[in-house]
């Protein structure tokens, strides 16, 4: 059993213990320090958290090209200080001509790479319309003012840091070194058009025209109708509670909030604080809950415009009790023996980025958006200056066959024209007794849900500060494959031996994800920010 003191000693010895940033009024946490500074400047000059989120979103499109984007899509979770909540869905949509066998040959076999590289992998981007919806509904500043910092970064350039250069090594068609000043005149021109003309420039004007022309010339199926018919959804967030905290999270077409809440419902009775961080007992029960929740995630969830999502059933207390009762106290349950718990259904990644913002009034925003794989589909249309997503890989290209994240999904997430692929993005806001407590989220493909889960548990169950909570080594299980992945330092040698003796297959893998979190000190109101050590260019800052 590890006490909090023992956990902190382990953290210090392993090099991941650190103190969070402290600010009294407002906090911005992103994985790119230039973008964080843009957000802080907006807040200092009277903008609110949504204004800052829009400015950060565009800034990341410049300084974080692997992941920040205007060529992809995602979700924004907003909680205003007066209690208003919105989940803004600007997830990509499949082209209208897309069909279930899009990536299969005439014999029904998947064609490697077709859903991940090139124009056939591209879904209709949603970021520009999503950021504009948030700004017009909740923001206080003009589009031009909020986009000006991103345009300046693209036009004048920014200094490339060591960690940036490592990421850029995999950038198609570019060689960027540490110390370079990276300018992007094409992207500056594109952003200037959007700042002036709004979403029309992107969805009905020259930007859409350039993307469609490149798609037509390179085997894609995007059309001007795909862009003109794109729309943003506003949905009710998913709610659940855990140890007296109220969680607000992502509903379908994200699986994140439902799966996170299902896991929390199952594990809520267990005494993790007494068992200790990543002890054998703690790991066993969390992994078994994850195994069962991912089986449900991969089977039942999809775009609510196309399928009925059984959210109430999956989050019902009696269902959690049923799953809990199926967990052996001393043995791993093979995934081959774990089946989706609601029975049959009627037929009907990893390069993402997350940022969290809290302003002086207590407005909170959690944004997770993506172009899916690193640098998306690896293509830039004409002189638009930004990478396009390969989000089509998030669909079920063929039932029973894993996608790039190893997720084995069912027909509810099959490819249909105009459909949004199921996501794992999990932007989450936590309150207690009606007061804002925490804002968090992460990239990481199918691992996002377990990253957010671990960050929450690290704070709530294990008493870690928010910086340690995002730094701590992680563990992941997603039903299939039947493997427990763990980062270096997640388990002691003795715990590994005991878990293997219980029937677990363990696999140490390099670090994943990039959690960006804020905690509000309930006594002082101080904003405490934690930016993930896995992205060293990140920054938690405020005023």
Task: List active site positions.
Answer: 352
| Distance in angstroms (rounded) separating the CA atoms of residues 297 and 333 | 18
How is residue 264 written in tokens? 């929390």
| Nearest Cα residue to 381 out of 209, 223, 201, 154 | 209
Task: Give dist(CA 490, CA 49) in Å, integer.
Answer: 34
CB atoms within 10 A of CB 128: 28
Say if CB 543 and CB 43 are below 8 A apart: yes
Separation CA 69–CA 376 (nearest Å): 10
Query: Pairing state of beta strands 85-90 and 73-79?
Result: antiparallel
Give CA separation, 201 vs 74, 193, 228, in Å.
Answer: 20, 6, 11
**DSSP conformational letter for 393:** G
Q: Between the CA atoms of 482, 101, 257 and 530, what dihedral angle is there, to the nearest 10 degrees?
A: 80
CA distances from 96 to 72, 192, 411 (A): 17, 29, 18
Q: Which distant-in-sequence residues (6+ apart) come within 8 Å of 6 by Cβ? A: 276
Burial state string for 302-334 with b = 16 or more CB within 10 A and e = fewer than 16? bbbeebebbbeebbeeebbeebbeebeeeebbe
Q: Residues near 284 by Cβ (< 8 Å), separated by ≥ 6?
A: 332, 499, 502
Q: Are 79 and 66 in contact (CB under 8 A)?
A: no
Task: Give φ, ψ of 265 to 5 degrees.
Answer: -60, -40
CA torsion sign, 167 to 172 to 177 to 180? Answer: negative
Count CB-CB contacts under 10 A for residue 396: 23
Q: Which residue has tokens 């909740």?
A: 138
**How many whole angstroms separate alpha carbon 531 and alpha carbon 490?**
19
């Amino acid at each position: 059993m590890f006490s909090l003191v023992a956990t902190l000693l382990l953290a210090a010895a392993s090099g991941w213990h650190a103190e969070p940033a402290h600010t009294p009024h407002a906090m911005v946490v992103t994985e790119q320090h230039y973008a964080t500074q843009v957000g802080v400047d907006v807040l200092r000059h009277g903008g609110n958290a949504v204004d800052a989120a829009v400015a950060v979103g565009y800034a990341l499109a410049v300084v974080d090209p692997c992941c920040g984007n205007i060529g992809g899509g995602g979700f924004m979770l907003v909680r205003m200080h007066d209690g208003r909540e919105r989940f803004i869905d600007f997830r990509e949509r499949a082209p209208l001509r897309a069909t279930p066998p899009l990536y299969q040959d005439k014999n029904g076999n998947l064609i490697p790479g077709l859903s991940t590289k090139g124009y056939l992998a591209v879904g209709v981007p949603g970021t520009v319309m999503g950021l504009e919806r948030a700004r017009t509904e909740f923001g206080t500043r003009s589009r031009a003012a909020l986009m000006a910092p991103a345009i300046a970064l693209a036009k004048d350039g920014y200094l490339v840091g060591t960690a940036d250069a490592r990421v850029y090594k995999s950038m198609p068609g570019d060689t960027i070194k540490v110390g370079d000043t990276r300018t992007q005149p094409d992207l500056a021109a594109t952003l200037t058009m959007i700042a002036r003309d709004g979403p029309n420039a992107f969805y009905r004007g020259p930007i859409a025209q350039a993307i469609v022309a490149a798609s037509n010339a390179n085997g894609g199926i995007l059309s001007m109708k795909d862009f003109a018919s794109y729309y943003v959804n506003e949905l009710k967030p998913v709610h659940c509670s855990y140890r007296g905290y109220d969680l607000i999270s992502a509903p379908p077409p994200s699986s994140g909030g439902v799966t996170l809440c299902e896991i929390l419902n199952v594990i809520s009775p267990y005494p993790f604080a007494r068992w200790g961080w990543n002890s054998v007992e703690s790991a066993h029960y969390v992994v078994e809950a994850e195994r069962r929740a991912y089986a449900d995630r991969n089977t039942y969830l999809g775009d609510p415009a196309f399928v009925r999502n059984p959210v109430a059933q999956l989050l019902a207390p009696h269902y959690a009790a049923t799953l809990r009762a199926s967990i052996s106290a001393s043995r791993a349950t093979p995934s081959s023996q774990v089946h989706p718990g609601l029975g049959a259904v009627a037929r009907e990644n990893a390069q993402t980025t997350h940022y969290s913002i809290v302003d002086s009034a207590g407005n909170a925003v959690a944004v997770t958006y993506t172009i899916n794989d690193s640098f998306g589909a690896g293509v830039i249309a004409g002189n638009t200056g930004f990478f396009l997503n390969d989000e089509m890989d998030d669909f079920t290209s063929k039932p029973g066959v894993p996608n790039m994240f190893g997720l084995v999904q069912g027909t509810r997430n099959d490819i249909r024209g105009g459909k949004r692929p199921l996501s794992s993005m999990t932007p989450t806001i936590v309150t207690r007794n009606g007061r804002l407590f925490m804002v968090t989220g992460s990239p990481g493909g199918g691992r996002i849900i377990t990253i957010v889960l671990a960050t929450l548990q690290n704070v709530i169950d294990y008493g870690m500060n928010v910086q340690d909570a995002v730094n701590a080594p992680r563990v992941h299980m997603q039903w299939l494959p039947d493997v427990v992945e763990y980062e270096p330092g997640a388990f002691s040698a003795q715990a590994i031996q005991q878990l293997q003796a219980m029937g677990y297959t363990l696999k140490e893998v390099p670090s994943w994800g990039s959690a960006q979190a804020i905690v509000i000190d309930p006594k002082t109101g101080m904003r405490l920010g934690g930016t993930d050590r896995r992205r060293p260019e990140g920054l938690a800052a405020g005023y």
